[in-house]
Every structure is written in C-alpha cells, then in structure tokens.
Amino acid sequence: MLKGIGVSPGVVVGVAYRVESVLGAGEPQSLESAAMVPGEIARFDRAVEETTVELETFVQRIALELGTPAADIFKTHLQMVNDPEMTARVHAAIEKKRLTALSALQSVMNAYAAQFARIDQDYFRERVTDVRDVMTRIGSHLTRKPGPAENGNGATESHAGEEPVILVAHEILPSQAMSLGNLAIAGIVTETGGSTSHAAILARSRGIPAVSGVDGIMNDVVAGDLMVVDGREGHVIVRPDREATSAYRKVQREFFLLKDRLVANRDQPAVSCDGTHVEVLANINNLADAQAADSVGAAGVGLFRTEYLFLTHHDVPGEEEQYEYYRQIVLSSPNKTTTIRTLDLGGDKTVPYLGRRNEPNPFMGWRSVRIFFENPKLLVTQIRAILRAGRHGKVSMLFPMITTVEELRRLNTMVKEAKSNLRREGVPFADDVKTGVMVEVPAAAVCIDALLRETDFISIGSNDLIQYLVAADRDNPKVAHLCEPLSPSIFRIINMVLEACQRTGTPVTVCGEMAGQPRAALVLFGMGLRRFSMSPAFVPQIKALIASVTTAQAERFAHHVLQLSTSDEIRAYLSERLHEVSAELEAIDFA
Ligand code: PEP
Ligand code: MG
C-alpha cells in the first residue's frame, strides 16, 4: 500500500493508464529483429490515427464547453499529430535505428522540444508543453492495451478493457486536466500536487476519487496494472490481491449507491432539521460544470473560476468572446445566479501570453489582481464583459487575492469607469452587478472591517487562506500536512471574518474546498455561515448534512471547536459528532 494525500473522496478499483512524462524518460528500446520493423511502423500509424480521432472529438467538445477559439489550442495539436515531417522522422527512426515505435517517437519529439527550447521567444518555448502533450497522447495509444508480455504482471487480476481507467501521472498540468473529460476516467493518482492543486479541484468537480503526493508511483505501475485508489484515506494499492480487490470493490459499490441516493434530494431546499435555510452553491470552471451544478441541485454558482477560459487560449480572449461565454455560463447556472470571479492567474496557473515568469515563489508573487495593475486593459475588458453578461441573470463580480484596501479602491474605481464608458457608448449592461472581495490573504481577514466598508459581499477562499496563514505551499506534499482546514487557526480566522460580516449584515460565502467537507461544514454552519460554495459533486452531501442537524446542535459543535488547541483534537471531536449526526456521510468525508 502506498500513502499519499487523499484529494478527492471515493474509492475505485481500476486499471492503470499512465500519463508519461515522456521527455527525457527512460532508455531507448530497440526492436529485436529487422523483421519487426513493418509491424512497428503500422503500430505507430495506427496510434496516430487513434490520436487524430480522439483529438477531433476533443476539439468538438472543448468548442462546445469553452467556445471555438478555446479549441484552437488542440487544433494545433491535431496539426502536430498529422505533420508529415514528424511521421517521416519517426518512420526513419524505427527503420534505421531499429527503435520501438515509442522510443522512436520519443527521440523525434525530444529533438523538436530541444529545437523549440533554443528559440529565444517565450511563445515558442512555451510550445514545449504542446509537444509533450501531443507526444503523450500518441504514446498513450501505443501503450494503451499492453499484452501480457509487456505488462509482466501475470500474477494479479487484470481486466484491461472492461475495468474503469485510473490515470497515473507524475503531475497533471491545468491544461492537461482540461482534457481529462475525454477519457472515461474513474480515478487519478499523481506523484506531485496537494489537495487544492487545480488537478485535484477538477477531479473533485467531476466526482473522481484522487490521491496526490504518491512518491515513486510512476516506477511502480505499468499500464494495465490493477489498482485501488482510496481518495478518502489517501491510499493506493498497486496489484492488490484477491481479498483486497473484492473488499475495495464492495466499498466502491456502497460509495456509488450512497451518491445516487444523495442526488435524489436535488429538488429539495437546503434546510436544517429546525428550519434554518442555507444556500448550497457550486464552484465551477466551465460550462459543463455549470450544467452539473444545475443537475445536482445547487442553488446557484458561488464561484466561477474564469481562468480556465484563458488557460486554453493562445492569446487574451476579446470582450465579445468573453461576454458570449459568460452569458452562456449565466444562462446554464442554477437559477441563473452566478458569481463570476475575475482572472486569478499566477501560482500554478500561467499563460504564455502574459510573459514568461521565473519567480522563485509564484504563489507569493505576481498573481491575480497584482497582474492587472500592470495590465489594466486586461481587467477592464473582463469587467466590461461581466457587466454586460449581468443582464442575463443575477450576476456578481468577485475579486480574488485582495490584500489591501488600496487595491479594492482601485478595482472599484475601474468598475465605476467601465460602467460610465459602457453607458456613454450605449452598450447595454446591468448596473446592479454587486462586487465582492475574496478573503484569502490573511491581511484581508485581519483588516476585514476596513474592507467591509467598501464592498457588497465577501467570499472566503479557504484554500489560499489556509496556505498563506500557515506559510505552507498548498501543492507541496512535503508540507501539505500543515494545510489542514480542521485546525484551530483556520477556524478562528474564519470565525473572525464571519462575525464581522454578521455585525455589518454583509452577505458572506465560504467557497474554498472545506465548504464541501462534512466535518468542516458542520462547524461553519454552527458559526452562522449560511452560504456554502463547493464542487458540484459535493452539493448533495452538504444538503443532506444540513438536513440532519439542528442549528443549536451545530452552534454547540462550533463553540466547542473554538476552545480546542490542536487539529488532532478537532478532528477526533468532529468525527464523533459527524458519526452521531449522519454515520453514512462519514463514509464520504475527506480532508
Ligand atoms: C480558494 O482559494 O479557496 C479558492 C476558492 O480559490 P482557488 O482555489 O481558485 O484559488
Ligand atoms: Mg484562491
């Protein structure tokens, strides 16, 4: 059993599908005889054909979800896959160097990557990622269904083809994560990344069990291996024996049944035993998530991360395109209620067109609104698009990573100017779009009173708030244990913000992942939180949780938790309380 961090709950038994970090990987493999050359060439050509079909479908899907220009990035991949020069070079490497198709592909792609890397332009250097992406795709078709000889793993049960697929990777980049929906993925295991890395967030939004920070997993797993992924406990078992396999299959079935049962409450309001109403909202990244939010019965979208539109673009999307995309998101959101967050690039999400940055400390660096102050036009375009989309529903605008009141004032002025320009130009927009501040930098929490005087609403981004509060990178497995939501410091700081909002009657949401975690949500509800926003997959369980507790009970829990001094005590205490309130929800809790 290998230990990592459980980043998306649930249990799954399936077969490994490796996402190779192909560049620089492994020794080249030679063919045993010249007679194998034609077969190997045919195998490569087949993989190219399969990749082409896969990419074509993918381009269509992305075009539907994110709009045509967003699909362009993968159209470029299609061109790369079908580049006759690339094919000729791979064929030559198989024929002349007698390499296997995979090794030939590797050597040709490595040469391309080296060529790109030498070009002294950021745009081309960034294209190395595309080369890696394309190579991984073709390579994965070459290794997809290994025969027993390649698998070398006759002792374990293997049912490649019938089993769900478990993605195993060193790291999943945000742009790669976008393409995950293309495969029927049932589980994800990575060597790097913590519970709030964007790959983890995407896994959760699709309800896929995932474990990160599993050191050396790429050395242990061969494509086609049977694996168990336990996203609650953060365990991975490679080649489980019969007993473990059947025990975990049973848990997997129970997990699915419970989720099905919970979704049945989709049309019920979120209300506690004693009649306190709460709003259970969804965090979304794209159009498909907005639809998912509606189908699980969320009351609205509490956080729309606009970065994903930008991450799949070659350049800055224009105002018209953004407007059209936001309009579609609003129309698809439950109750046409959407909180649109302005661009939060930086940290683990970068785009080549904003310039290459080699910051020693990207999470503490040029991120989010800090970028806008150097590129105000970028923000003005987005603000205009959001104000225009506001006509199609109940839209709010949310600013991430606010650190000082001065920043908020600058942003408020920009919104005011954007409105008066739209008015002067005669472009229709919604004047009543509310603006809010994300509290995710401790400085903002400490000065919450000052911020409250100049904003309409607050959204607590606990993912970042935790990492900045404890000074530990949320995606670094070595320090991830410090990024603990069930901790005295995070509950105290959140309580402080909630009390300030209650005093001033300011609407407040918690939109970090802890809002969807049953134990944490019990405390937040007890502290008086009435707006929770989370990955759509968790909406049903939080509605069920609220329905199983009274307000007074939750207040007691929160009061007690605020007296405790350690995370261990808080965890133990809340596990007992959750068990009393709803033993079945304990099975899908995580954190
Ligand atoms: C957060 O920080 O809690 C949050 C919701 O924002 P993101 O995870 O997108 O940084
Ligand atoms: Mg954040």
Structure tokens at 186: 């049932």
- Span from the CA of 401 to the centroid of ligand 1 (angstroms): 9
Q: Which of 115, 51, 114, 107 lies closest to 82, judged by CA?
A: 51
Tens of pLDDT, residue by residue over 26-73, are 677 888 888 999 999 999 999 899 888 878 877 776 676 655 655 666
∠ CA 165-166-169, rounded to 5°: 135
∠ CA 487-491-492, rounded to 5°: 115
pLDDT at residue 146, rounded to an integer: 36
Give the phi and the psi of residue 525 in degrees, each rounded to 5: -60, -40
Task: Tell me if 302 CB under 6 Å of ligand 1.
Answer: no
Instruction: Delineate the domains of the chain, giving CATH numbers in brackets.
Output: 2-22+150-260 (3.50.30.10), 34-142 (1.10.274.10), 281-588 (3.20.20.60)
User: Which of ligand 1's atoms lies nearest the C-alpha of 462?
Assistant: 3
Task: Tell me if 440 CB under 6 Å of ligand 1.
Answer: yes
Task: Tell me if 197 CB under 6 Å of ligand 1.
Answer: no
pLDDT at residue 179, rounded to an integer: 58
pLDDT at residue 152, rounded to an integer: 29
pLDDT at residue 229, rounded to an integer: 94
Which stretch of DSSP H or E encloses residue 185? strand 185-190
CA distance 577 to 508: 25
pLDDT at residue 10, rounded to an integer: 86
Q: What residue ranges of the chain have pLDDT lower than 50?
A: 22-24, 145-161
- Annotated active-site residue 447? The verdict is no
Give the phi and the psi of residue 434 in degrees, each rounded to 5: -80, 150
User: Which of ligand 1's atoms lies nearest the C-alpha of 347?
Assistant: 10
Q: Which of 179, 249, 254, 235 lies closest to 19, judged by CA?
A: 179
Please tell me whether residue 539 adopts helix, strand or coil conformation.
helix
Tens of pLDDT, residue by residue over 123-179, are 555 566 667 777 777 887 887 643 222 332 222 333 344 577 898 988 776 556 665
The model carries a pTM of: 0.74
Task: Tell me if 245 CB under 6 Å of ligand 1.
Answer: no
> Which residue out of 77, 313, 483, 511 is catalytically annotated?
511
- Span from the CA of 363 to the centroid of ligand 1 (angstroms): 12
Report CA-CA distances (Å) from 12 to 46, 117, 171, 200, 489: 31, 39, 20, 16, 34
120 contact partners, CB below 8 Å, separation of at least 6: none
Q: Please measure the distance between the N-terminal and C-terminal CA atoms of the chain and give it in whole angstroms.
A: 19
User: Which of ligand 1's atoms lies nearest the C-alpha of 307?
Assistant: 9
Q: Which of 556, 475, 578 lies closest to 590, judged by CA?
A: 578
Ligand nearest to the CA of 348: 1
- Span from the CA of 583 to the centroid of ligand 2 (angstroms): 31
Burial group, residue 422, by CB count within 10 angstroms (0-12, 13-18, 19+)? middle
Burial group, residue 335, by CB count within 10 angstroms (0-12, 13-18, 19+)? middle
Please tell me whether residue 113 adopts helix, strand or coil conformation.
helix
Structure tokens at 37: 């050359």
CA distance 443 to 441: 5
- Annotated active-site residue 277? The verdict is no
81: Cα within 13 Å, side-chain hemisphere = 27
> Which residue out of 198, 235, 313, 392 is catalytically annotated?
198
Q: At what angle do helices 101-118 and 37-66 cross, to 10 degrees?
A: 60
Nearest CA, atom 1, ligand 1: 461
544 contact partners, CB below 8 Å, separation of at least 6: 262, 265, 582, 585
Task: Tell me if 512 CB under 6 Å of ligand 1.
Answer: yes
Q: Which of 307, 279, 308, 281 lies closest to 294, judged by CA?
A: 281
Task: Tell me if 463 CB under 6 Å of ligand 1.
Answer: yes
199 contact partners, CB below 8 Å, separation of at least 6: 171, 172, 173, 174, 176, 177, 188, 190, 193, 210, 212
